[in-house]
Chain A
Amino acid sequence: MIANLRPSRERHDAAAPALVATVTAGALAYIAAVDPNRPGHYPLCPFRAVTGYACPGCGSLRALHALLTGHPARAVHHNVLTVAVLPFLVVASTRWLASTFGWWTPAPRRARAVWIWALLVVVIGFAVLRNVPPMRGGALGP
């Protein structure tokens, strides 16, 4: 019964990863070429537009741009959370691509619940700290 409810890991449809990879590559090329520090090229974060506060993702475009143009320290300043989760995203995407195209079938791994709850605490803590006076505009950016 359980087996029927779960998606097969054996063979994925290749269209979705191919689309995601193409869109990601295009977006990264655009972010590298068009500087988010200059106004007028990217939408304002909706959360920031409405509340005036920086959300956990604010500064992520500038962080990516800094990384892509070879300024890791600047990237950390813009959004340290983005830089911290990037390795995880890269590994997860690689596993997805690899299993899709059959290069390598990784064992299904599951993050323990406690780590995901810890991530939630970090994200919320980051969101609060970067908006309170001592840290606002400081080391936590954006």
Chain B
Amino acid sequence: MAFCPQCGSETTEGARFCAACGATLAGGTYTPPPPPPRPPGGGYVGRPSTIPNYLVPAILTTVFCCLPAGIVAIVYAAQVSQKEQAGDIAGALKASQNARTWSIVSACAVVVTILIAIVFLAAGSSTTTNFR
């Protein structure tokens, strides 16, 4: 199998010109390695994807939720990256699950807090102060 040195497309064995780009071929003797396969649609099929570490929800929790859950979620997010870098896929997946769980826990806590506040405000309580 021969390839055009100009454009990399496959050429007929022994052809003098490349059928794709028209470049002169050196008698079909030049056989470079085929170009790396390009995934369609610009996807990243060729490279490994990553295990989600839920770092964004962890940071959101820490900054906007006022709960220790955010700290726990950051710890698990770091563990996902660390274990994945070390090749411990099973451990990384477990940490990923924990990070996800803590994000959900903190999100529910926020919703409950807001609901309680709405109830208090609706009841006309003046004791509810602002987010300090």
The reply to whether B71 and A57 form a contact with Cβ atoms under 8 Å apart is no
Q: Which residue of A lies closest to B126 (CB)?
A: A40
Give bound CA distance, A113 to B41, whole Å: 30
- Could you tell me which residues of chain A, from 80 to 107, have a CB within 8 Å of some CB in chain B? 81-82, 85, 88-89, 92-93, 105, 107
Proximity string of chain B (54-92) to chain A, C-beta cutoff 8 Å, 1 when within and 0 when not:
011001101111111011001101110110110001000
The reply to whether B81 and A44 form a contact with Cβ atoms under 8 Å apart is no
Write the nearest CB–CB distance from A19 to chain B, whole angstroms. 13
Choose among A7, A8, A36, A116 the residue that contacts B130 (Cβ–Cβ < 8 A): A36
Given the known inter-chain contacts A46-B113, A89-B60, please indicate yes or no for A57 contacting B77, CB distance below 8 A.
no
The reply to whether A108 and B50 form a contact with Cβ atoms under 8 Å apart is yes
The reply to whether B130 and A112 form a contact with Cβ atoms under 8 Å apart is no
The reply to whether A45 and B74 form a contact with Cβ atoms under 8 Å apart is no
DSSP class of B's interface residues: helix, strand, loop or mixed? helix
Write the nearest CB–CB distance from B35 to chain A, whole angstroms. 19
Let me know if A123 is at the binding interface, CB within 8 A: yes
Let me know if B7 is at the binding interface, CB within 8 A: no
B36 contacts across to A, CB distance below 8 A: none
Q: Which of B67, B93, B121, B131 has the most CB of A within 10 A?
A: B131
DSSP class of A's interface residues: helix, strand, loop or mixed? loop
Given the known inter-chain contacts A7-B52, A116-B81, A123-B74, please indicate yes or no for A58 contacting B64, CB distance below 8 A.
no
B82 contacts across to A, CB distance below 8 A: 113, 117
The reply to whether B49 and A6 form a contact with Cβ atoms under 8 Å apart is yes
Give bound CA distance, A54 to B63, whole Å: 12
Let me know if B11 is at the binding interface, CB within 8 A: no
Give bound CA distance, A41 to B81, whole Å: 39
Write the nearest CB–CB distance from B58 to chain A, whole angstroms. 9
B41 contacts across to A, CB distance below 8 A: 10, 105
Known: A41-B130, A117-B78. 10 other contacts (CB 8 A): A42-B131, A46-B66, A46-B109, A57-B63, A57-B70, A59-B131, A108-B49, A111-B81, A113-B81, A116-B53
